[in-house]
Structure 1
């Protein structure tokens, strides 16, 4: 039986940062992957999505500037764009393997399942690990409805060779909203069916309304307060029906109802590893109830307000575990300020104390800024640009939310300030950003 000091199940950001931190140690590390090496983000998720967004954002910005300096808005050739996307990302799994091997970790492709707290079975072989880290992430959810087998996932959309004429997306969260923007900009007619009465429930509603309005202006149709009951095939078409009586005929149906923990094949119950609907349960050291077995990344059940399920969070947890295992720290994990964004058009982003929470708590001061007259935003006709900042009673910035074409980059400029925990005066005496760059805005509004 092969023996390792540490085994990581899953090859995403947890494994990448974990192996990188341990590359100069003398520990034997094994990374096991049951799908494409590198995990969801570079193969089926955020990285291909942001690649496509480069063309999408260019098209939508050119539409915004039509008649305002741009005479002919850009258009997308989906087939060419997808061909280039596949060429760009096809080598990633092999490169991920080489990267982890360069960190002196062994790699193995196969589905891992627990035999006991220190032993895994992979490809029929038993492998021992002194410590084992579950980092299998999440997988696309499948709604428990009649005809669910007819629906496609976000993974499928990001590899579509040909653009469907009509698309229905079930769900108005991150995945549904981002995919809707991409497909609509490329020329598809898009409709979103959402169970709740609003989209992007994790974000400040006043900013979400601007996103929804812009998407509607671009031709995307929303159906809120509708629970999809079934999907049927009617010849070459699909029919999506809701319990409330909605019926839509379309060419393609995407189940964008979210993601669920990827734990089905791990045999957790047999070993007694506790988990719930949100994922594997861990303590403040990322250890499960079974000694020697840990979990990190999106597979963990955690508070989204403290540790949202995002790539940077996963990488941070991988770094923490490497330090904890090697005795470089003995303290519980403490999360930094973590920003989140939906790469819609316009984008929406936030960090720190949410605006909704602050508005319900008199200990906070909430300040709204309309950015639409600012030179940076008028240059791209960004008529949705709005920023909201949250300050505590000590005049320290503790939260930020923005809707704009550049919201993700803008909010990144505020994350450091929130994390530094300094008041306005201290920050202005310490930093002087570049002008006229977008980061200078932090000095104006802090």
Structure 2
């Protein structure tokens, strides 16, 4: 049997892919990466980074609106075309730069759609490639929705590339994408409706803090329809008709110029022909052992959204990559450690969470002290003219270890990292209170949150 073409073939070119490919190349392995889309992955081109650029401009407009009469005179207007051009200035250079980085590391860069043809072989367009190890770092795609007219919806990728913002936008789903993009669209002047199947948006976040955020959404003019199922989408001359079924109020219709899929994402593995490689999957999820290796094909590994072991976040993909590298190069038998992974919805204002929820803390650890409050009268909120400011910190009684933290309000996206450090390192409330935070900053509020 002939030797494989490569020691390692990585499918995808995002943060997880780079985190695996480059260390293995540095160790002397023959490595190749392949992508059917421009190099760089979702986060840098179609996700976190361009989204954050757009949120930043929306927040500037939001800040000016809140501070009217407090030293700001004259309303700001979000210029959509200029915003998209600014966003694109961060995206345009990514593919060329990422591909050049791979080549500099001695990694072969392939282009095309990859499909398994055997346990250790793949066809990339019309080329057959084999490798000792194959790592799937393919990311995620919008989940299929069994809705008549679902093909009329646009994806989050499409929203980030809109040449102009339509007047009426409906988001189907109530998670991160809906929360973030709804705020951007509302601050840009669109009439925004969010349709959420469950009883509230952002179900992964603390319900009390989500309630605070929803007051802010109402002030922004965002119409949130909870307990509502989309039963159909139809196109008409004047736009779209989105039919809803509320579990108590029955059927209703919302008119829209744009309907955006915001109802979750699934691992992008359906088109890889996993069966040809003997790679097991259940309901679209790869079956992996604790080391992120396929349970049925030892040559195949997965990281990030393709693995779906940890939260669907860029730092998780990078962490998974380090785990797989340790197992590939050192046979370490390592598994990922997802303790205290902070997560943020970059809404206006942001909402953030890390560690155990209140329900999890009560179930796992007893007794638990809960320090929580609505802090609209604190300096941080008042000088930002921001009413949406609240916190909930979960503390183990006796040891005083921080178990979980949940925040909404100004700079929650930054302050949550302090709590992530505290939880991961087993710090106590005394440890945090002993830190002299710069004042006046939002982080200095941590003392009062404990």
- Settle same-fold status: TM greater than 0.5: yes
SS in structure 2 of the partner of residue 227 of structure 1: strand
Mapped contact 1:296–1:314 kept (Cα < 8 A): yes
User: What is the CA-CA distance between 1:122 and the residue it aligns to?
Assistant: 0.6
Instruction: Count how many residue pairs are aligned between Structure 1 and Structure 2.
Output: 441
Counterparts of residues 90-101 of structure 1 (less than 5 Å): 90-101=92-103
2:59 paired residue among 39, 51, 57: 57
Query: Paired residue for 2:28?
Result: 26
Query: Paired residue for 1:81?
Result: 83
1:171-207 Cα offsets, whole Å, 9 max, x none, are 1111111111111111111111111111100000010
**1:248 aligns to 2:250 (yes or no):** no
SS in structure 2 of the partner of residue 7 of structure 1: strand
Mapped contact 2:55–2:180 kept (Cα < 8 A): no
**1:308 aligns to 2:311 (yes or no):** yes
User: What is the CA-CA distance between 1:104 and the residue it aligns to?
Assistant: 2.4
Counterparts of residues 41-440 of structure 1 (less than 5 Å): 41-243=43-245, 244-277=250-283, 279-289=285-295, 290-302=297-309, 307-327=310-330, 329-359=332-362, 362-393=366-397, 394-429=399-434, 431-440=435-444
Mapped contact 1:261–1:298 kept (Cα < 8 A): yes
Kindly tell me: are residues 359 and 206 of structure 1, through their superposed partners in 2, closer, same or farther at Cα, counting changes over 3 Å? farther
User: What is the CA-CA distance between 1:16 and the residue it aligns to?
Assistant: 1.6
Mapped contact 1:433–1:443 kept (Cα < 8 A): no
Kindly tell me: are residues 427 and 167 of structure 1, through their superposed partners in 2, closer, same or farther at Cα, counting changes over 3 Å? closer
User: What is the CA-CA distance between 1:278 and the residue it aligns to?
Assistant: 5.4
Mapped contact 2:25–2:31 kept (Cα < 8 A): no
User: What is the CA-CA distance between 1:311 and the residue it aligns to?
Assistant: 0.5
SS in structure 2 of the partner of residue 412 of structure 1: helix
Distance 2:381 2:117 in 1: 57
Kindly tell me: are residues 251 and 328 of structure 1, through their superposed partners in 2, closer, same or farther at Cα, counting changes over 3 Å? same
1:106-135 Cα offsets, whole Å, 9 max, x none, are 211111111111111112111111111111
User: What is the CA-CA distance between 1:443 and the residue it aligns to?
Assistant: 4.1
Runs of 5+ consecutive residues of structure 1 not aligned to the other structure = none
Distance 1:126 1:377 in 2: 59
Mapped contact 1:101–1:107 kept (Cα < 8 A): yes
User: What is the CA-CA distance between 1:276 and the residue it aligns to?
Assistant: 2.3
Mapped contact 1:131–1:293 kept (Cα < 8 A): yes
Q: More displaced, 207-216 or 83-92? A: 83-92
CA RMSD of aligned residues (A): 1.8
After TM superposition, which residue ranges in structure 1, 4 or more long, deviate above 6 angstroms? none
Distance 2:227 2:61 in 1: 31
Kindly tell me: are residues 73 and 278 of structure 1, through their superposed partners in 2, closer, same or farther at Cα, counting changes over 3 Å? farther
Mapped contact 1:358–1:366 kept (Cα < 8 A): no
Mapped contact 2:212–2:389 kept (Cα < 8 A): no
Distance 1:426 1:230 in 2: 54
Distance 1:277 1:72 in 2: 53
Mapped contact 1:203–1:350 kept (Cα < 8 A): yes
Kindly tell me: are residues 370 and 209 of structure 1, through their superposed partners in 2, closer, same or farther at Cα, counting changes over 3 Å? closer
1:151-179 Cα offsets, whole Å, 9 max, x none, are 11111000001110111111111111111
SS in structure 2 of the partner of residue 214 of structure 1: helix
**TM-score with structure 1 setting the length:** 0.94
Mapped contact 2:143–2:263 kept (Cα < 8 A): yes
